[in-house]
Structures are given as structure tokens and as C-alpha cells.
Amino acid sequence: MKEYRAEVLVNEKFQLSEGPVWEKETQTLHFVDIKGCAIHRLHLPDGKRSTLELSQNIGCFALRKDGGYVAGLAAGVYLISRDGNAIEKLPQPAFDPMTRANDGKCDPEGRFWCGTADLVDGVKRSKLYLLPGDGRCIEMMDGLECSNGLAFWEDKLYYIDSGRHRIDVYRVDEETLSLKDHRIVAEIPRGQMVPDGMTIDEEGMLWAAHWGGGFVGRYDPRDGKLLEKVVVPASQSSSCCFGGSDMQTLFITSASLGVPGETEAGKVFAVHLPYRGADSFRYMR
């Protein structure tokens, strides 16, 4: 199995960096620090950084077509201007008080998928929501532990509920906006390693971060085979996305919580690969 090695891109130890999003128009990498209540931005051409500080934990976000962000915060989903001066809370979803927003992203149609994670282990009260951008909020799944990685390919949703220790795939029924034809793609060995954030390349192969495993794995969704690895010098690898001028750089986030002895934990990493990735899509509102 071929292995690549990721190098430090942002040399700062965040508590829980997550949810990277690539903005190709400005060549900017956006990512969150969930516990730090902030969206961080790195303009790759000149290395300049900026931070949007928020008043709540932020689990996920996507860029909006009209500018700014749609974001899953602790208390719900919000529309936020790029400078943070304008914030609007959407009426739905109403999060269970024993959960918080976790991973989420937009699909190619510009719809925002937002999941939640349990604040207490074992309650399984988390959900996955779909916001089509027309005022509706559709509950797509419930009974989850930690709604996590999402990736889209044709009419398929690839999905990770970390508590299941696997990657699943569903067909998105466009007429009913429901999930059908469930199949398990890959089982992840139980133990310290947990599947976390995920993205996809232009060949339809899945790239999943392994929390506790210190790597991102490239999986073939047809048979679940682990094809290649990107080794990360931080055990709590949390998520990933493709970007860069040629869309061949994999950006990887990580966490420093609970691993005080790891010198690189919590930093953001990058590796240039011989594969092109999918775009980060924008929310239609």
C-alpha cells in the first residue's frame, strides 16, 4: 500500500480544528476550531491569515453563493456575513439540548447538510438535517451518535456516523428528498481508531480521516478496500478537503484535545497528491 506524508501547513495548535472548505475563487482555505469558536482563513498565495470569532462552538459551515457562511453552531444553523457583523438564526433545525452541531457541507445542488453529535456518550439523539435553501429543514436520519463525514457522487451520499465505525452509502431520491438503498461501504476496525471527516476525488474514491489513527485513508467505495494512506503527524486527524491551484492538495485538520504529549497535534496539514479532488460547493441562499 502506497503511503504519503502530510506536512504542517498552519503551525498553530488549535483545540479542535475541523471542517476544511476550499474557496477556489480566492485560493483560500477556511476551517473551524470547534472549541475555539472561530472560523480561520488562510490565503494560500501569500500566507495571510484572518479569523472570524464567534460566540458559540461551531461544528460546520459552508460558503454561500451570496457571500458569507451558513454554519452549524451550538444552538442551531445560522447565516453569517463574511465579516461576522450580520448573523441570522434560521428557524429550523431545533437541536436536541443533548447534542451540538458537528460535521456538515453542501452538495453539488447547493443544499446544506448539517449533522449533530451527542454531548453525552450513548444517548444516540443526534440527527442529520438537509436544508434545501427554500426555507425547509428535512430530517434525513436520526438515532445517530456523531454525525460526521459526508461526500457526494452522482445521486449518492457517502456518510459516516462515527459511532458505527464504518462508511455507508445511500441513494438520494430527488423527488422525495429521502435516502434509499443503503449499503455498507467499509467497516473500520474498532478500538482507538474512529472514522471522522471525509471527502472524495474525481475518480469517485473516498478519503476519510481516522481519529486516533493518525492518517487519512483512500477507499474504493465499490468494495471498501483501503487503497492508500496519507500519514499525519497528529493522531487525532479530524477531516480533509481538496484544494490548491490544481485541486491536488489535500488539506487535513486535527485536534490537540487529550493528547498533550503530541507536538504537532491540533495543527493543519497538507500534502500534494496525484489525484484531483472535488470542489467545495456553496449554499444556494
pLDDT tens digits along 167-184: 999 999 999 999 999 999
Question: How far is it, in rounded angstroms, from Cα 101 to Cα 96?
Answer: 10
Q: What is the pLDDT of residues 38-69, one digit of tens each?
A: 999 999 999 999 999 999 999 999 999 989 99
Residues belonging to the chain: 285
Q: Are 54 and 85 in contact (CB under 8 A)?
A: no
Cell of 63: 460558503
Q: Is the pLDDT of residue 264 over 90?
A: yes
Q: Are strands 226-231 and 2-5 parallel, antiparallel or unpaired?
A: parallel
The pLDDT, as a whole number, for residue 263 is 97
Per-residue pLDDT at 121: 87
Cell numbers linked to 86: 450580520
Closest alpha carbon to 115 in 220, 18, 250, 259: 18
Question: pLDDT value at position 259?
Answer: 94
Rounded Cα distance, 111 and 134, in Å? 9
For residue 213, give Cα distances in angstroms to 48, 145, 146, 234, 252: 31, 19, 17, 9, 13
Q: What is the mean pLDDT of the chain?
A: 96
Q: Are 251 and 30 in contact (CB under 8 A)?
A: no
pLDDT at 285: 78
Neighbouring residues of 85: CB distance < 8 A, sequence distance ≥ 6 = none
Domains and their CATH numbers in the chain: 2-272 (2.120.10.30)
The percentage of residues in the chain with a pLDDT greater than 90, rounded to a whole number, is 96
Q: Strand, helix or coil at 3?
A: strand
> Tens digits of per-residue pLDDT, 190-240?
887 999 999 999 999 999 999 999 999 999 999 999 999 999 999 999 999
The Cα 285–Cα 274 span in angstroms is 34
**Catalytic site residues?**
196
74 and 56 in contact (C-beta within 8 Å)? yes
Cell output for 30: 477556511
**118-122, 188-192, 259-263: range with highest mean pLDDT:** 259-263
